[in-house]
C-alpha cells in the first residue's frame, strides 16, 4: 500500500509533495515511484549517474533545445535539462495506484490550438512545396500546441489524468507523471526512443497512423491502411533514419525486427524494432540519437533547420525524451528513454500545453495532417476532460515484447505486415555474421566517406566495412589529405546541386574535380552523384515530383535492380554513352525520361539512389560490383554477395 507521507497523499492533502515520478512501463503490473532531489545539467554528459547497487539512479527530462549540443538549428526557448536524482524507489501495484490516484474530473477553460487548422494546413503546404519539393529532405515533422488553463491544483489534475490514462489508454510504452517542482508532465508515450540493457541497444521507430473513434477498429479499413503506399513509405523512411543512428551507436549497425501493429485507444501505428550491440556511455548514446526522426524528420541536421524556419517557436519538451539511467546487477549502465509525445505539460499556475505533430512526406495532404494532429492529441485530451473517453483499456500491452490483440493476430493483418519486408534489403533484416560478406582482395584497403550532411554515410560505412574495407568518415567542411585512401566516396546530403555558390556544393564539386584529375578511385552517392554528373557536363533538373523515400526497379549496367531514392534532383541524358573531359562514361538511364540512375567511367562511378538504404534490396550487390570496377582488382570479379531479394 502507499504510505501516508508519499507524494500522492501529500497532493491529496494539498501539501507540497516534493519532486517525484510515477511510471508504468509497457507490460508491467505495477508502477515505479521515484522520489529525490532535482538538479539541472548543461549537457547530456553532465547527467548524474551515481555509483551504487543495481537499479535506477536518475530520471532526466531532456528538452528539445538540447539538440544544440550537436550543433543543429533550434528555436532556443531555454528549457532546462532537469534531473531527478533518485533517492528512493518503490514499486506500487496497479490496483493500489488506481485506488490512491484521485478519481475526479479535470476542469479546463480557454482551450485552443496556438495555430488554427487553416494556419497549420498552410504551413503543411509550404513545407511540401518549399522543402520536400526542393530537395531539403524526405520528411519533416511540424508541431502545433493545444493550450488551456486547468482549474484547481495542477498536480492533482495531473494525477487524475494519469488515472484516466491508466484505465483508458492502451499500447503505451510509458504512462507517467513527472513533477519537478517547476513543471509537471503527464502522458502516455507510445514510443521507445532508445534503451540500453546488457550492452544491447534498442530503438523503436513508429510511423503511419490509422485513426479510429475509439470503438472497435474497422478491420477492412485497417487492411486498406496497411497497404496504403503513403503509410508504408512513411514507416520505411523513419526506419532508414533510425538505422543511421544505430550505425553510430551499435558496433555493427542495427538489425531490423518487425513490423508490428501498435494499437492505442484512438489510433493504431505501425512500428519496427532495431537492435544492436554497443559499448558507449549511455549519455553518449542519448546525444548521438538526438532526436527521433519520427518527431523531427530526415536527414536530421537539415530537418532541424526546416523545423526552426517553419515553427518559429520553441518546442519545450515536445520531441525530447524522458531518460531513466541506472545500473544493472553487474554495475553496467542501463538506459530506458521514451519520446516525449502524447504528453501534457502543466505549470504550477495551471497553464496547460499539449503539443502534437504530423509527419509530412511527399504524399501528404494538408487536411490529412491536420486530422492527424487532432487524433494524436485525443488520448491525453480525453484524460484532461477535453475530449470523449475511449473504451476501457484491455489488459494486454503493446509491441513486440507483449501479447498481441485481436487485430494484430488476424492472419490477413499479419500477412500485410510481413509483406512489407519483401522488397527490403536483407543486409539490415538478417542476423549478420562478421566476415561473412568480405570480398577477396579488399582486406587492408581503406576508404574515406565524405559526408554531405546526411548520416546515411554511417550505414554506408557499415556496408563497405562488411565487404572488407577499413572505412573513415569526414564532414564535407573538414579539410584533409585523401592520398592515403584506396577509395573516396562522395556522400549524400540535402540541397540544390545546381547552386554552386553554396559553400557545400562548391567544396564537394572541387574535391570531385581534384579526385578525377588525379585518377583516384571515386564513388559518388546521391548528392555526390549529382555533383559528379554536373562536373561531367550532364544537365541537372529538379524533378516534377520529389523522389523522397521511393523504391523502384531500375536498370543498373545491364541488370534490373531494386533500389531506394531520396532525391528531388536528377541528371538527364539522351544516350547511354557520352564523352567527357575525364574519358568515356557509361550511363544507366530511365527509359521514360532519361534520368541517370548510375554512371561509371575510368576510375569513377556514381549512383543517384542509396545502395545503403533499407529500400535498396540489391544495394550490397551493386556496391560489390562497383568496387570491382573502381579498384580494378580481378579477385573481386564474380564474388558479389548473392542477391537474396
Active site residues: 526, 610, 612
Strand locations in 42-168 (E): 55-62, 81-93, 108-113, 139-150
Q: 247 and 471 in contact (C-beta within 8 Å)?
A: no
Phi and psi at residue 542, to the nearest 5°: -85, 130
DSSP per-residue string spanning 404-469: --HHHH-HHHHHHHHHTTTTS-HHHHSPPPTTTTPPTT-TT-EEEEEE-S-THHHHHHHHHHHTT-
What is each CA distance from 487 to 72, 365, 522, in whole angstroms?
30, 43, 6
**Would strands 192-197 and 333-338 be described as parallel, antiparallel, or unpaired?**
antiparallel
Spacing of C-alpha 242 from chain mean position? 4
Nearest Cα residue to 465 out of 495, 417, 432: 432
d(CA 137, CA 453): 11
Nearest Cα residue to 611 out of 558, 555, 644, 562: 562
d(CA 109, CA 298): 37
Residues recorded for the chain: 645
d(CA 206, CA 292): 10
Torsion of CA 42, 44, 45, 50, to 10 degrees: 100
In this structure, what DSSP letter does residue 636 have? G
Residues 6+ away with beta carbon under 8 Å from 505: 495, 496, 497, 499, 531
Nearest Cα residue to 111 out of 153, 145, 143, 142: 145
Nearest Cα residue to 296 out of 342, 341, 262: 341
- DSSP reduced 3-state for 198: coil
Structure-block grid coordinates of residue 223: 487492411
d(CA 328, CA 49): 12
In this structure, what DSSP letter does residue 46 have? G
Q: What does the longest C-alpha to C-alpha distance in the chain come to?
A: 84
**Beta bridge partners of residue 571, listed in sequence order:** 540
Q: Which residues of 127-142 are buried (b: 16+ CB within 10 A; e: fewer)?
A: bbeebbbebbbbbbbb
Residues 6+ away with beta carbon under 8 Å from 357: 141, 142, 143, 144, 295, 318, 319, 341, 373, 376
- DSSP reduced 3-state for 2: coil
Amino acid at each position: 500500500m502507499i504510505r501516508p507521507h508519499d507524494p500522492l497523499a501529500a497532493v491529496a492533502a494539498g501539501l507540497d509533495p516534493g519532486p517525484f515520478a510515477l511510471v508504468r512501463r509497457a507490460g508491467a503490473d505495477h508502477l515505479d515511484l521515484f522520489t529525490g532531489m532535482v538538479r539541472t545539467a548543461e549537457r547530456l554528459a553532465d547527467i548524474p549517474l551515481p555509483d551504487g547497487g543495481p537499479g535506477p539512479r536518475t530520471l532526466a527530462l531532456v528538452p528539445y533545445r538540447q539538440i544544440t549540443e550537436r550543433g543543429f538549428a533550434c528555436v532556443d526557448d531555454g528549457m532546462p535539462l532537469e534531473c531527478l536524482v533518485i533517492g528512493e524507489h518503490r514499486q506500487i501495484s496497479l490496483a493500489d495506484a488506481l485506488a490512491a490516484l484521485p478519481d475526479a474530473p479535470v476542469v479546463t477553460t480557454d482551450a485552443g490550438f496556438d495555430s488554427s487548422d487553416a494556419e497549420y494546413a498552410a504551413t503543411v503546404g509550404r513545407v511540401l512545396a518549399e522543402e520536400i519539393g526542393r530537395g531539403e529532405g524526405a520528411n519533416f515533422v511540424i508541431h502545433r500546441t493545444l493550450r488551456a488553463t486547468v482549474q484547481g491544483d495542477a498536480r492533482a489534475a495531473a494525477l487524475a489524468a494519469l488515472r484516466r490514462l491508466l484505465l483508458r489508454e492502451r499500447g503505451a510504452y510509458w504512462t507517467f507523471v513527472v513533477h519537478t517542482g517547476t513543471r509537471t508532465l503527464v502522458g502516455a508515450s507510445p514510443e521507445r526512443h532508445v534503451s540500453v540493457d546488457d550492452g544491447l541497444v534498442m530503438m523503436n521507430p513508429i510511423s503511419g497512423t490509422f485513426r479510429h473513434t475509439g470503438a472497435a477498429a474497422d478491420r477492412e479499413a485497417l487492411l486498406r491502411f496497411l497497404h496504403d503506399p503513403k503509410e508504408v513509405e512513411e514507416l520505411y523512411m523513419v526506419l532508414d533514419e533510425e538505422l543511421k543512428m544505430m550505425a553510430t551507436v551499435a558496433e555493427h549497425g542495427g538489425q531490423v525486427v518487425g513490423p508490428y501493429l501498435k494499437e492505442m485507444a484512438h489510433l493504431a501505428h505501425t512500428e519496427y524494432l532495431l537492435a544492436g550491440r554497443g559499448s558507449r556511455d549511455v549519455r553518449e548514446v542519448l546525444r548521438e540519437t538526438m532526436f527521433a526522426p519520427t518527431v523531427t524528420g530526415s536527414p536530421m541536421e537539415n530537418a532541424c533547420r526546416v523545423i526552426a524556419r517553419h515553427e518559429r517557436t520553441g518546442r519545450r519538451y515536445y520531441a525530447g525524451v524522458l531518460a531513466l539511467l541506472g545500473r544493472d546487477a553487474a554495475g553496467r549502465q542501463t538506459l530506458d528513454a521514451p519520446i516525449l509525445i502524447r504528453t501534457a505539460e502543466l505549470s504550477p499556475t495551471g497553464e496547460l500545453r499539449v503539443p502534437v505533430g504530423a509527419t509530412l512526406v511527399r504524399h501528404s495532404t494538408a487536411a490529412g495532417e491536420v486530422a492527424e494532429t487532432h487524433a494524436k492529441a485525443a488520448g491525453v485530451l480525453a484524460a484532461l476532460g477535453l475530449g470523449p473517453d475511449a473504451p476501457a483499456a484491455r489488459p494486454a500491452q503493446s509491441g513486440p515484447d507483449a501479447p498481441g490483440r485481436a487485430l494484430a493476430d488476424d492472419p490477413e493483418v499479419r500477412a500485410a505486415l510481413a509483406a512489407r519486408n519483401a522488397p527490403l534489403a536483407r543486409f539490415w533484416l538478417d542476423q549478420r555474421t562478421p566476415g561473412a560478406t568480405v570480398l577477396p582482395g579488399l582486406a587492408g584497403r581503406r576508404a574515406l566517406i565524405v559526408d554531405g550532411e546526411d548520416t546515411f554515410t554511417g550505414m554506408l560505412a557499415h556496408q563497405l566495412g562488411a565487404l572488407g574495407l577499413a572505412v573513415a568518415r569526414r564532414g564535407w567542411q573538414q579539410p584533409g589529405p585523401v592520398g592515403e585512401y584506396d577509395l573516396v566516396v562522395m556522400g549524400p546530403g540535402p540541397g540544390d546541386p545546381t547552386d554552386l555558390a553554396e559553400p557545400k556544393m562548391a567544396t564537394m564539386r572541387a574535391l570531385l574535380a581534384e579526385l578525377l584529375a588525379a585518377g583516384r578511385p571515386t564513388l559518388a552517392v546521391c548528392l555526390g552523384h549529382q555533383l559528379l554528373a554536373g562536373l561531367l557536363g550532364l544537365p541537372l533538373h529538379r524533378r516534377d515530383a520529389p523522389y523522397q523515400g521511393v523504391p523502384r526497379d531500375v536498370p543498373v549496367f545491364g541488370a534490373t535492380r531494386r533500389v531506394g531514392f531520396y532525391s528531388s534532383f536528377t541528371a538527364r541524358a539522351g544516350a547511354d554513352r557520352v564523352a567527357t573531359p575525364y574519358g568515356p562514361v557509361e550511363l544507366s538511364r530511365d527509359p521514360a525520361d532519361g534520368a541517370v540512375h548510375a554512371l561509371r567511367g575510368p576510375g569513377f562511378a556514381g549512383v543517384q539512389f542509396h545502395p545503403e538504404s533499407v529500400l535498396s534490396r540489391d544495394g550490397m550487390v551493386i556496391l560489390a560490383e562497383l568496387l570491382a570496377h573502381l579498384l580494378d582488382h580481378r579477385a573481386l570479379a564474380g564474388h558479389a554477395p548473392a542477391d537474396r531479394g
